[in-house]
């Protein structure tokens, strides 16, 4: 009888060890320990045995049943852990996946245009710097070679600020900067050449109509090094114009006057609506370029030696001696570039915060 119990126990334990799922183990529990199984029946019928065998058989059968029960429980716990791990691995969520919802909102045309301009010049090797929006008359006009009677200094063209009572010794006449050009001078005063920077930022002038707002945005550019020429100016600005307005574009330099560049030129880009022909396919005059085939986009020129000399006087060295270094500067209105690029007819549309304008170009 004890041999049979040992057999049953060995068979049960072997089956439990070989089981690979909890379902299999539940079946084994019924098979080896259930109501109709041989081992429990043996225990139940111990009382039928001769008295001298009852104790020995009962004890062996009970031990065998407990051992099987323990083995089953241990194996079930083991497999449940493994099955849970497998389930977790299969259900794992990849939180690095981008969301699937529709994008909400969009960048303002001016922000998008400014960032595009910055990207283009970063690609050409320029750094981006920013400057103060309130400026001294010195940096806004004097250091940029504006004569004392230059019309831009007029109170009709410049916002003047009262001297601040909070700044001890503040006796400098301040203005809201009328252009980003003061940063040309500030950058040269603080840095050795070579310099290649652009200066995006807000500027202010007392104008308000379809093509002017009292606050608007410019991007200034400055490149100073040995042997920088007008050809470099043309190459850089041609590259810019093609990046913004298309690979087919050409530019032309037109003589102009600015106080702080000499020679000064205005840059026109060939019209992207009529491909520079001045008329549309149906023969009518192109409205965008007014039939000329060219659109003015910015002002520029070679930095005036007087500006470099003034920087040298402040620095007290000859790093910007105009006999040693030269360079060019340019300035453009971000609003103008955005209006041309997106066909916006009235500057004020850019500031009315009409969400339809944003959605139209999203």
Q: Where are the beta strands (DSSP E) in 271-318?
A: 294-303
Q: Which is nearer to Zn ion, 111 or 284 (CB)?
A: 284
Work out whether strand 160-161 and strand 174-176 pair parallel, antiparallel, or are unpaired.
antiparallel
Tell me how far, at minimum, the Cβ of 271 lies from Zn ion, in Å.
Answer: 3
* Residues in binding contact with Zn ion, number by CB under 5 A: 6
Shortest distance (Å) from residue 270 CB to Zn ion: 8
Output the smallest distance, CB 288 to Zn ion, in A: 5
Q: Which two tokens stand for residue 53?
A: 């065998």
Q: Which is nearer to Zn ion, 129 or 289 (CB)?
A: 289
**DSSP code for 229:** -
The structure tokens listed for 54 are: 């009852």
Nearer to Zn ion, 239 or 273 (CB): 273
CB of 277 to Zn ion, least distance (A): 7
Closest approach of Cβ 248 to Zn ion, in Å? Answer: 13
CB 175 within 8 A of CB 139: no
x/- contact string, 259-278, with Zn ion (CB under 5 A)? ------------x-xx----
Name the residue among 58, 68, 64, 49 with its Cα closest to residue 6.
64
Extended beta strands in 259-325, E state: 261-270, 294-303
Determine the longest span between alpha carbons in the chain, in angstroms. Answer: 133
Q: How far is the CB of 284 from Zn ion (least distance, A)?
A: 11
**Residues between 181 and 200 that touch Zn ion (CB under 5 A):** none
- Closest CB to Zn ion among residues 220, 268: 268
Q: Which is nearer to Zn ion, 27 or 288 (CB)?
A: 288
Q: Which is nearer to Zn ion, 31 or 273 (CB)?
A: 273
Binding mask 12-41 for Zn ion (x = CB under 5 A): ------------------------------
Is residue 209 packed enough to be buried (19+ CB in 10 Å), middle (13-18) or exposed (0-12)?
exposed
Q: Which residues, 272 to 331, sit near Zn ion by CB under 5 A? A: 273-274, 286, 288-289
Across the beta sheet with 326-333, the strand order is 127-128, 195-204, 215-225, 326-333, 294-303, 261-270, 251-258
Q: How far is the CB of 287 from Zn ion (least distance, A)?
A: 8
340 binds Zn ion (CB under 5 A): no
Pick between residue 198 and residue 286 the one whose CB is nearest to Zn ion. Answer: 286
Identify which of residues 152 and 288 has a Cβ nearer to Zn ion in the complex: 288
Q: At closest approach, how far in Å is the CB of 345 from Zn ion?
A: 15
Tell the smallest beta-carbon distance from residue 175 to Zn ion (Å).
37
277 vs 315, which CB is nearer to Zn ion?
277
Distance, in Å, from the CA atom of 237 to the CA atom of 258, rounded to the nearest integer, reads 18
How far is residue 331's CA from residue 12's CA, in Å, rounded to a whole number? 90
Q: 137 — alpha (psi -120 to 50), left (phi > 0) or beta?
A: alpha
Task: Verify cis geometry, omega within 30 degrees of 0, for the bond prior to 319.
Answer: no
How far is Cα 85 from Cα 211, in angstroms, rounded to an integer?
67
Which DSSP state fits 145?
T
Residues in the site for Zn ion, rule: CB under 5 A?
A: 271, 273-274, 286, 288-289
């Amino acid at each position: 009888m004890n041999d049979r119990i040992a057999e049953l126990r060995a068979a049960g334990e072997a089956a439990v060890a070989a089981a690979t799922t909890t379902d299999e183990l539940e079946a084994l529990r019924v098979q080896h320990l259930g109501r109709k199984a041989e081992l429990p029946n043996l225990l139940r019928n111990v009382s039928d045995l001769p008295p001298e065998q009852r104790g020995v058989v009962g004890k062996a059968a009970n031990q065998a049943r407990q051992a099987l029960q323990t083995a089953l429980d241990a194996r079930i716990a083991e497999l449940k852990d493994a099955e849970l791990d497998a389930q977790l691995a299969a259900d794992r969520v990849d939180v690095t996946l981008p969301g699937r919802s529709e994008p909400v909102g969009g960048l303002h045309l001016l922000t998008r245009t400014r960032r595009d301009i910055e990207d283009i010049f970063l690609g050409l090797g320029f750094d981006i710097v920013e400057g103060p929006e309130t400026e001294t008359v010195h940096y806004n006009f004097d250091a940029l070679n504006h004569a004392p009677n230059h019309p831009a200094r007029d109170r009709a063209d410049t916002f003047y600020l009262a001297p601040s009572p909070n700044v001890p010794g503040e006796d400098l006449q301040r203005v809201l900067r009328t252009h980003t050009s003061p940063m040309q001078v500030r950058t040269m005063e603080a840095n050795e050449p070579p310099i290649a920077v652009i200066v995006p930022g807000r500027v202010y002038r007392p104008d308000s109509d379809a093509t002017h707002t009292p606050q608007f945005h410019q991007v200034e550019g400055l490149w100073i090094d040995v042997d920088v020429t007008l050809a470099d100016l043309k190459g850089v600005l041609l590259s810019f114009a093609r990046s913004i307005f298309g690979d087919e574009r050409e530019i032309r330099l037109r003589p102009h006057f600015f106080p702080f560049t000499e020679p000064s030129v205005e840059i026109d880009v060939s019209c992207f609506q009529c491909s520079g022909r001045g008329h549309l396919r149906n023969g009518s005059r192109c409205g965008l370029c007014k039939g000329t085939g060219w659109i003015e986009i910015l002002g520029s020129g070679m930095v005036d030696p007087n500006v470099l000399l003034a920087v040298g006087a402040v620095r007290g060295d000859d790093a910007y001696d105009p006999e040693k270094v030269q360079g060019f500067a340019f300035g453009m209105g971000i609003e103008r570039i955005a209006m041309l690029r997106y066909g916006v007819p009235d500057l004020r549309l850019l500031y009315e915060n009409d969400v339809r304008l944003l959605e139209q170009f999203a």
